[in-house]
Structure 1
Amino acid sequence: MPTLGAHMSIAGGYYKAVEAAEAAGCNCVQLFTKNNNQWRAKELTDADAERFQAALKELGITHPIAHDSYLINLGSPDDELWKKSIDALVVELQRAAKLGIPYVVAHPGAFTTTSEEAGIKRIAKGLDEVHKQTKGIASQVLLENTAGQGSNLGWRFEHLADIIAKTRNPERLGVCIDTCHAFAAGYAMETKKEYTATFKALDQTVGLDLVKAFHVNDSVKPLGSRVDRHAHIGEGAMGLEPFRHLMNDRRFKKVPMYLETPKGTSDAGEDFDVMNLRTLRGLVEGK
């Protein structure tokens, strides 16, 4: 059975995200280590970290993962924003390390007024600076594929491969694959043939060994729309088949997968995370 979880809120304490994950029937959990829409970060105390780790152990939640702030843009040609983004990502890695979280998922960045090529070089240079400032820290950055809205980079697997290849410490990077983003970027996965072709393309560029996490989300918008809007599993434009293929892909048996689907409750009063996890687990063959 795949290791499945969801992104959970840290409101009230980091341990609260773990408790919410356990209550929804998750095996793993994703969280922000700080307010994702602010640059500043509240101090992370030893007590915060200890309570978080204790909750993981007590409730049997594994593979905690963090997502970085949405304000960060390592692709920015604006020096002030670029430097601010580097500093912020350094803080994200430091906080993850203190919490005992091995990976921080990060969108590569947007080139805004320059070009794809310039943006990719800028991101690689920014990651080099982040790595320089976090020597000795075990937590690593996972570059996430994007839907390709605006000038966002990472919507082609080649972008991710190119960024990693251009850094001085490629061994300190991995990737997180978001199903909605891949679909919105034009990677079809409905038929077995399409799914196989998409993951062959990923393997030939990035390499499947670098895939350390998945975000499992259906897409509101159609294939190739380049619009990032998540839907409940099987209720969006992707349908159930891509998730059936993924849930039964033995190559990813040990790779944790996290929902980032809309929160709330169904008309029947069921928590959406519970509903989506049940749908995914129902697709696993030969349980």
Structure 2
Amino acid sequence: MINIENKINKFIGAHVSTQGGVSKAFENAENIGARAFALFTKNQRRWDSKPLEEGEIKKFKEFMEKSGISPEYILPHNSYLHNLGNGDNEKREKSLNAFIDEMERCRQLGLKYLNMHPGSHLNEISQEECIRLIANSINEAHKKVSDIVVVLETTAGQGSNIGSKFEEIAEIINLIEDKDRIGVCIDTCHTLAAGYELKDEEGYEKTMNDFEKIIGFKYLKGVHLNDSKFDTGSKKDRHDSIGKGVLGEEFFIRFMNDKRFDNIPIILETIDETIWKQEIEYLYNLIK
């Protein structure tokens, strides 16, 4: 084990299992030495799930208090089924209702965020129309559920998905009525795949400066810290274990010593959960 006392500003964890109930997330996070984590609040492969039981909600809140992991460092992820930018009104309404249900689950659990992939135009409507529909859906969801901040994740650029360009994220944010309830999660694998260089110092600084100019670090609410199996601009969403992909150790040293990523949840979605504990220790040991 490492002493993280002097590394207090970085909060690293992983997307942990909730098999057996959402409160299991805290035990699974503790087992890997996490100071942050992500979770699904329901089965991500199904549209409908039974409501959270009062006993499980109470247990989740009790474990959250005991764990010392506050809602600021828990980054729930919505179902991959949702598409708030679908041009088909009926299908988009189905996605929106399911998304609102997940926001409500987060609120019931005393959480703060809900992370999402923005949506896809499916080559059926224009990119501009898709962005407008995504923003309208989030605005409607905000009106139905209080408090929860919607966090837009950067995407890899595959298919017709929105969010691989910082400008697309910024356009959505621009259309959100309550700017205090919108944020961004940078996924490092997705960002590299989308064409933003991260592997060398010059590329890293340009990417971060572009993020600041186009979106703004004031909107950054979390990071998915993943290595990538494929190189810059591949448009392939293929995560890898830390140090096993193309990003290289210099990137992770640079990232772990970058104060712009202090005090937010840093979540591993790397491919081998059996080494998450070692990956977390390795990352903390990179801090100078």
Q: Normalising TM by the smaller chain, what interval?
A: over 0.9
- Pick one of 59, 65, 73 that aligns with 2:75: 65
Aligned residue in 2 for 1:274: 277
Equivalent residue letter for 2:251: P
Aligned residue in 2 for 1:174: 183
Matched, 1:190 2:199: yes
Deviation track 1:254-273 (CA, whole Å, cap 9, x = no partner) reads 12201111134xxxxxx221
Aligned residue in 1 for 2:17: 9
- The answer to which structure, 1 or 2, has the higher relative contact order (CA under 8 A, 6+ apart) is 2
Aligned residue in 2 for 1:261: 270
Matched, 1:92 2:102: yes
- Contiguous gaps of at least 5 residues in structure 1: 265-270
SS of the equivalent of 1:175 reads strand
Paired residues of 1:144 and 1:177 also in contact (CA < 8 A):
yes
Q: How many residues align?
A: 277
Alignment partners' CA distance in 1, 2:200 and 2:230 = 18
Matched, 1:117 2:128: yes
CA offset at residue 244 of structure 1? 1.4
CA offset at residue 92 of structure 1? 0.9
| Range that drifts further, 162-171 or 104-113 | 162-171
Equivalent residue letter for 2:127: E
TM-score with structure 2 length normalisation? Answer: 0.93
Alignment partners' CA distance in 1, 2:22 and 2:129 = 37
* 1:39-54 aligned within 5 A: 39-54=47-62
Aligned residue in 2 for 1:267: none
TM-score with structure 1 length normalisation? Answer: 0.93
SS of the equivalent of 2:150 reads strand
Paired residues of 1:248 and 1:284 also in contact (CA < 8 A):
yes
CA offset at residue 167 of structure 1? 2.2
For the aligned residues, what is the CA RMSD? Answer: 1.2
- Contiguous gaps of at least 5 residues in structure 2: 1-6
Aligned residue in 2 for 1:214: 223
SS of the equivalent of 2:23 reads helix
SS of the equivalent of 1:200 reads helix
SS of the equivalent of 2:210 reads helix
Identity %: 40
Equivalent residue letter for 2:50: K
Alignment partners' CA distance in 2, 1:10 and 1:245 = 32
- Pick one of 130, 140, 143 that aligns with 1:129: 140
Alignment partners' CA distance in 1, 2:143 and 2:80 = 22
Deviation track 1:61-120 (CA, whole Å, cap 9, x = no partner) reads 332221000000011111111001111111111000111110000000001122221211
Aligned residue in 2 for 1:268: none
**Structure 1 stretches of at least 4 aligned residues deviating more than 6 Å after TM superposition:** none
- Pick one of 143, 147, 156 that aligns with 2:152: 143
Matched, 1:24 2:32: yes
